[in-house]
Every structure is written in C-alpha cells, then in structure tokens.
Amino acid sequence: MKIVGLIAEYNPFHNGHLYHIRKAKEITGADAVLVIMSGNYVQRGTPAIMPKHLRAQVALESGVAAVFELPVCYATGSAEYFATGAVSLLNHLGCVDALCFGSECGNYALLERIAGILTEEPEDYTFYLKEALRKGLSFPRARQQALSSYLKDENVDQVLDEPNNILGIEYIKALYQTGSLIKGYTIQRKESGYHDRDLSGNYSSASAIRRLLAQAGSSIHLRSDSIYDEPPLSDVLTRLEDQVPSACIDLLRDTHLIRYPVYANDFSLLLKYRLMNETSDSLMKYLDITEDLANRIMNHIDDLISYEQFCDLLKSRDLTYTRISRSLLHILLQIKTADMLDYQARGNCQYARLLGFRMDQSSVLTILKQTSRIPLITKLTQTDSLSETGLSMLHTDIQAANLYESVLTDKFKIPFFNEYRQQIIRVDTE
C-alpha cells in the first residue's frame, strides 16, 4: 500500500483542504492519506478555533485514513521547528512514501533548490547573509536578500514572502537533514492567499473563514479595531456552504457556542497569571524568549489587558506580532528551550498519538503497527513503552489540552472533559 502524508492544521477545515487531500492522492498515486495535524494550538501562536478532535473528525469524513497529533511543542514552534517535528513523525511511522504540501508557487524544483542552499550554506551565500545582517536587517529579511543575491533572481523575494512557500522549504530541509526516504511533492494553492481576510470563490483561506465565523455573535473576542454587525449563525453558515464541505457545515452548526469558537483573548487572564509568577531571568528558559523580549514583557506586564492587545504592545521592527504571540504561548504552556534541545537530540517526536481513523481504511493502522519505530499511543494510560523524554513531551501535550478544555468549560459553561477521557474518533462510512 502506498501512503502519502500531509501536514495540516485544519483551522477550520475548508474546500482547499479537501482539494489538497484529493490532489495529493492523484499526483502521488497513493492508496491512502495519513495526516499529521496540530492539536489545540497552532503554528501562528494561537489556540485553534475549535478542538482537535472536531477538526480531525471532518478530515476523516473527507477521506483521510488516519489523523495523528503533532506534539504541541512542535505545533506552536517556528516554521523550522514545525516542519522538523512533523517530518520526523512521518519518518518514524516507517510506512509513508510521499509528503505532499501546498505552496503559493507550486514549483517543487525551485523550493528544493532554495532548501538545498539553506541546508548546505555555500560560501557565497554565507557572505551575502553576513553582509545583510551587518546592515541591521532582521534574520528572515537578511536571508531573503542573501538568497536573491546568490541566485541572482529577484523573483526569489516574492517566493520567500509567502508563508506556505517558506513552510514548504522547511519541509524539504527537514527531509534532507533527516536523510528521509520520503519523496516530496507540492501542489499550488488555489485562488485565495494565506492571509486573505475575505471570502474568495470557492477556495477561501482559513483566515477569511475564521473572520466570518467570528461575526456570528462573538465579536467581543476580535481585535479591538474590528467592529462588526453580528449576523445570526444561520446566515454565516449559508455564506460558507460554498467554502467548506457539508460535514464541516454540520459540525459548525451543531457545536457553535458549545465547543467553539476559541480565541487568543480567551486565555488573557491565564497568561497574566502565568507572567505574574515569572521574572525576566525565569522567562528566558522558555522557547523563543530572548533577554530583550523577557525585559519587554516584564516592563509592560501592568499594561496587559488582553492577549492580543499585549502582542500589539510588544511587537517591534524586529519582532513580529506572530513571533510575540508564539513566544507568549510558549510561556503559557511552559514549553522550554532545554526540553526542545533534548527532544532534538533524541530524534524529535517520541511517539505517534492517534486522534482518529476511518473504519474502511483500518488496514493502514495494521501496517503502522508493523512499521512504526516509535510507540503508537491510542490510550493515555498505556505509556509503559515511552522513555522519560517521551513522557515529558506527552505530559506537556496533556497539560496544554486540559488548559484549552478549561477555557471551553468557563466560556461555554459546559462540564470539564479531561484529556484522559477523550476517545479515538472512529468514522464509519457505511
């Protein structure tokens, strides 16, 4: 059986994701699709709009054979960490033949060439990079300029301005650096851009869909500069019927104000409590926290009103809003640099936690049990095969999930559902 791996967030699931699943099978000739998906928190440094099990369910109903959770330390990391964690997990499963990702350019050869330069760091490229850094450019901008100079191609600037291209380059780098036998493919993103804020055709961005969902009676959780008239949910879902699969429409209707929407600002008080227990020195143990950022955080802690407002307050020419948001989330979830270094030294992902599978493709799980080089976790009580490092990683996942659930409990006044009680999703298509 040929299996293609996808790396996704599905925040929320939409037509572009469905196209990705189908196209990936087509161009790779795969018999089944396996997904590595972010859990309750995503790479841009925010909570997912809805819980991981709901997002996994729609993916399974849309044809995915199985969904595994990307550990939260990688799901909330930089593009490099995110890609390294996800690719390492695909490698460890031992049965994935191909990795197919979306990109704005759709040109795998170009992305592969750039990834090769960044991996090998030839002398001329290194010279251009150092020159750009001496001029005071931020590292991403300096790297972009150095690549343009090295390749003598101004179009590279445009390629490196697009988030999915950047992530694709990191996937290819991770394949190189791990000596992976997985073959890479890319498909071009359809119609809308990653950051597009308005619906477009039938393939709108997740950002545009989240923005529309936020109008359905939840605008108090938006950025302070966003003011909307609030239409009823039925009107919003009518507008989304051409943007997301019917299974997703049903889920959005049935769980609204019960299991979603969740926003960064819902974690504001939790963040403030965590920061009140830290010092500038203690903050520096968390991933992505520099001395300068730690001092900025502590100097402005009294000005924290909401999560998003604090990100706006802390951002600067060198520190983007997303970088700040991601850093604050690392503090909130207690993701430490030392732990990440330990994970990397031991092969990154220490286990594969199954979120759900399709009953009609359960043969994929049979194969995985034979090929996986890391423990497959189907029950949180069955962790005897995990190393101390693996237990530490899993503990962080569990604590992060329970924190997310506590926000749902408070926001929607529902009973708390401990992570140990979560069941694997089994989608029966009969």
Report the distance separating Cα 65 and Cα 378, nearest Å. 15
pLDDT digits (tens, 9 = 90+) for 138-160: 888 899 999 999 998 877 888 99
Does 20 count as an annotated binding residue?
yes
pLDDT digits (tens, 9 = 90+) for 242-263: 999 999 999 999 999 999 999 9
pLDDT of residue 290: 95
pLDDT digits (tens, 9 = 90+) for 336-393: 999 999 999 999 999 999 999 999 999 999 999 999 999 999 999 989 999 999 999 9
Least reliable range by pLDDT among 140-144, 173-177, 230-234: 230-234
Q: Are 144 and 157 in contact (CB under 8 A)?
A: yes
Does 353 count as an annotated binding residue?
no
Asked if the peptide bond before residue 261 counts as cis, ω within 30 degrees of 0, the response is: yes
What is the separation, in whole angstroms, between the first and last Cα of the chain?
A: 22
Does 18 count as an annotated binding residue?
yes
Closest CA to 17 of 206, 240, 209: 206
pLDDT digits (tens, 9 = 90+) for 408-429: 999 999 999 999 999 999 999 7
Does 8 count as an annotated binding residue?
yes
Q: Pick the more confident residue, 252 or 201.
A: 252
Closest CA to 366 of 376, 353, 355: 376
Does 19 count as an annotated binding residue?
yes
* Residue given tokens 């995110």 in the structure block: 82
pLDDT of residue 217: 58
Does 17 count as an annotated binding residue?
yes
Does 217 count as an annotated binding residue?
no
pLDDT digits (tens, 9 = 90+) for 60-110: 999 999 999 999 999 999 999 999 999 999 999 999 999 999 999 999 999
Does 189 count as an annotated binding residue?
yes
pLDDT at 219 over 70: no
Structure tokens at 413: 């006044």
| Domain ranges (residues) in the chain | 110-161, 264-338
Q: What burial class does residue 21 get, using C-beta atoms within 10 Å of its C-beta: 0-12 exposed, 13-18 middle, 19+ buried?
A: buried
Does 16 count as an annotated binding residue?
yes
Does 7 count as an annotated binding residue?
yes
pLDDT bracket for residue 136 (50, 70, 90): confident
Q: Are 212 and 199 in contact (CB under 8 A)?
A: yes
Does 12 count as an annotated binding residue?
yes
Give 346's DSSP letter. T
Can you spell out the DSSP letters for 162-220?
SHHHHHHHHHHHHHHHTT--PEEEEEEPPSS-TT--S--TT---HHHHHHHHTTTT-GG
Structure tokens at 21: 């699943």
Closest CA to 182 of 348, 6, 358, 19: 6
Q: What is each CA distance from 285 to 280, 331, 332, in whole angstroms?
A: 10, 9, 12
Report the distance separating Cα 356 and Cα 57, nearest Å. 7
Q: Are 17 and 10 in contact (CB under 8 A)?
A: yes
Does 14 count as an annotated binding residue?
yes
